[in-house]
Amino acid sequence: MSLSWTAATDNVGVTSYTVSYGTNTLQVNGTSVTIPNLTPDTSYQFTVTAKDAAGNVSPAVSISAVTDAQGSSSAWAANINYKVNDEVTYAGNTYVCRQPHLSLVGWEPPNVPALWMLK
């Protein structure tokens, strides 16, 4: 699932965001994130906080979302732990994960056929 929000503003400068859901948290630098391994067709509640250069943390903002039905693909993203048979889309194509890995910039599906198979 892809999740995005409006950028926070701050007089010192926002440096990162924390996205929380259930017992999970993700640290991100931008205003979007791909949340991996969610149950299909399920409602989730996310909270997002912003942190500035001085270490101040904003109040949490809530985002409610429902995952797509089984069999749908999410957009490929860096810094995601993919598992075998996960499906992603990239540049208009759908790819299937061949082996578990943490995705890195430069490891986009068309660049690493050892990790991704064109569907």
Q: What is the CATH number of the domain that holds 86?
A: 2.10.10.20
Range of the domain at 101: 74-118
**Are 53 and 7 within one domain?**
yes
**32-73: per-residue pLDDT in tens?**
888 888 887 889 999 999 999 999 999 999 998 888 766 557
Assess whether 13 and 58 both reside in one domain.
yes
Same domain, 15 and 60: yes
pTM of the model: 0.58
Q: Which residues of 24-33 are buried (b: 16+ CB within 10 A; e: fewer)?
A: eebeeeeeeb
Q: Are residues 87 and 114 in the same domain?
A: yes
pLDDT for residue 85? 84
The pLDDT of residue 71 is 57
Structural domain total, the chain: 2
Tell which wins on pLDDT, 1 or 29: 29
Burial readout 71-104 (b: 16 or more C-beta within 10 A, e: otherwise): eebbebbeebebeeebbbebeeebbbbeeebebe
